[in-house]
């Protein structure tokens, strides 16, 4: 049985670790240098039914990378490259699955790990970090897995244990399509909830109707322009967006959590990606939200310095 090593003990990484553990899979956490010397309690996962599930796992550090059998990367998008660079002893045969939010890292990861089987995971489970090592599973979702390079194509069998643990996991040869669809939802929910400091569900209130509509129209146009042949209709996108807002109504988006806690956000990989790929499509609402959130990040960094 493959051992799954989770890189990035954030909310979603911990929830997936807990779900895998629950179905008898072996799971470990790879910690980065900045966690060395800290105390590591067991992971306490609050399941959907409100039960506490304790997960014991020996923390691993970069020098243990040569033993990693399958690496699941849940690190924040802006830490992915740095965290992978630390794993110099990672065997070239180890599959690496990128689950990070946003887009724009694929080419750099391919250049960094040219021999490893590379895959992308797109997962819509809801997760919330209550404190370090205490994480709540807030909603069931879907998971898609697909190859990022030729070697990744041989790892389709990983969907079986993932489907058992996560309720759903399917293979897609066009995983970029699923990435784009998730990015489109994140590009509406995340910056708006961060800017107005609200839960996902509050976006359904009439006072945010106009902002949601304007932003989703801009995002829809940019995303469908990236690959017109696989684009969903505007109505389907709106329906899907409304469904995610409803299903994650009690959640605070990852960007809202990052911004309110004064952490760096993934705005560059979400809204930044939309701005970079606008190709002449007017995106004033995206630009405004991008500028405001970057401004707040810079201000926080200055205060912390
Ligand atoms: O993926 C998410 C995030 O917070 O990053 C959503 C789907 C918006 C759920 O909160």
Find out whether the beta carbon of 251 lies less than 6 Å from any atom of ligand 1: yes
Find out whether the beta carbon of 179 lies less than 6 Å from any atom of ligand 1: no
| C-alpha Rg value of the chain to the nearest Å | 19
Termini Cα distance of the chain: 46
Give the tens place of pLDDT for each residue, 60-84. Answer: 999 999 999 999 999 999 999 999 9
**127 Cα to the center of ligand 1, angstroms:** 8
> Is 76 among the residues known to form the active site?
no
Give the tens place of pLDDT for each residue, 260-296. Answer: 989 999 999 999 999 999 999 999 999 999 999 999 9
d(CA 83, CA 100): 12
Candidate from 99, 199, 253, 259 with most ligand 1 atoms within 8 A of CB, to mutate: 253
pLDDT in the model for residue 304: 57
Residue identified by tokens 């042949």 is 229
Q: Pick the catalytic residue: 92, 129, 153, 182?
A: 182
Q: Share the mean pLDDT of the chain.
A: 93
Q: Are 209 and 215 in contact (CB under 8 A)?
A: no
Candidate from 138, 251, 259, 269 with most ligand 1 atoms within 8 A of CB, to mutate: 251
**253 Cα to the center of ligand 1, angstroms:** 5
Residue identified by tokens 């996962």 is 45
d(CA 277, CA 297): 23
The percentage of residues in the chain with a pLDDT greater than 70, rounded to a whole number, is 97
**123 Cα to the center of ligand 1, angstroms:** 10
pLDDT in the model for residue 301: 62
**Closest residue to atom 5 of ligand 1, CA basis:** 254
Find out whether the beta carbon of 100 lies less than 6 Å from any atom of ligand 1: no
Find out whether the beta carbon of 254 lies less than 6 Å from any atom of ligand 1: yes
With 0-12 / 13-18 / 19 or more C-beta atoms within 10 angstroms meaning exposed / middle / buried, residue 142 is: middle
Q: Which helix (H) or strand (E) holds 53?
A: strand 52-55
Give the tens place of pLDDT for each residue, 113-141. Answer: 999 999 999 999 988 888 888 999 988 88
**124 Cα to the center of ligand 1, angstroms:** 7
Find out whether the beta carbon of 244 lies less than 6 Å from any atom of ligand 1: yes
| H-type alpha helices, the chain | 11-22, 80-85, 106-112, 159-166, 175-196, 209-226, 234-247, 254-260, 271-276, 284-304
> Which token pair is 106?
């694929």
pLDDT in the model for residue 34: 72
Give this complex's ipTM: 0.96
Handedness of CA 287, 288, 294, 295 (dihedral sign): positive
Q: Are 297 and 264 in contact (CB under 8 A)?
A: yes
Query: pTM of the entire structure?
Result: 0.94
> Which token pair is 112?
């960094």
Q: Are 172 and 144 in contact (CB under 8 A)?
A: yes
**126 Cα to the center of ligand 1, angstroms:** 7
For residue 9, what pLDDT band results from cuts at 50, 70 and 90? confident
d(CA 16, CA 11): 9
For residue 24, what pLDDT band results from cuts at 50, 70 and 90? very high
In 3-state terms, what secondary structure has residue 64?
A: helix
Q: Which of 210, 95, 103 is nearest to 162 (CA)?
A: 95
Find out whether the beta carbon of 139 lies less than 6 Å from any atom of ligand 1: no
Find out whether the beta carbon of 189 lies less than 6 Å from any atom of ligand 1: yes
């Amino acid at each position: 049985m493959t051992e799954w090593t989770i890189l990035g003990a954030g909310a979603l990484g911990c929830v997936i670790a807990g779900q895998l553990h629950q179905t008898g899979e072996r799971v470990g956490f790879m910690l980065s240098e900045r966690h060395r010397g800290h105390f590591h309690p067991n992971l306490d996962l609050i399941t959907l039914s409100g039960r506490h599930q304790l997960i014991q796992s020996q923390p691993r550090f970069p020098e243990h990378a040569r033993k990693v059998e399958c690496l699941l990367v849940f690190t924040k998008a802006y830490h992915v490259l740095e965290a992978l660079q630390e794993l110099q002893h990672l065997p070239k045969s180890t599959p690496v699955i990128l689950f990070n939010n946003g887009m724009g890292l694929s080419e750099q990861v391919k250049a960094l790990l040219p021999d490893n089987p590379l895959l992308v995971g797109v997962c819509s489970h809801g997760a919330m970090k209550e404190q370090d090592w205490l994480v709540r599973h807030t909603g069931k979702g879907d998971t898609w897995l697909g190859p990022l390079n030729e070697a990744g194509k041989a790892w389709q069998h990983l969907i079986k244990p993932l489907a058992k643990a996560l309720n759903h996991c399917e293979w897609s040869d066009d995983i970029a399509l699923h990435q784009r669809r998730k990015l489109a939802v994140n590009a509406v929910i995340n910056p708006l909830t961060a800017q107005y400091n609200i839960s996902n569900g509050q976006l359904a209130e009439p006072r945010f109707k106009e902002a949601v509509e304007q932003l989703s129209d801009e995002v829809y146009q940019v995303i469908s322009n990236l690959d017109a042949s696989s684009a969903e209709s505007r109505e389907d996108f709106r329906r899907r967006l409304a469904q995610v807002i409803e299903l994650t109504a009690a959640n605070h988006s990852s960007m809202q959590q990052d911004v309110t806690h004064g952490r760096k956000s993934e705005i560059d990989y979400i809204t930044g990606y939309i701005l970079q790929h606008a190709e002449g499509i007017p995106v004033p609402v995206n630009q405004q939200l991008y500028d405001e959130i970057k401004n707040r990040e810079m201000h926080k960094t200055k205060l912390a310095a």
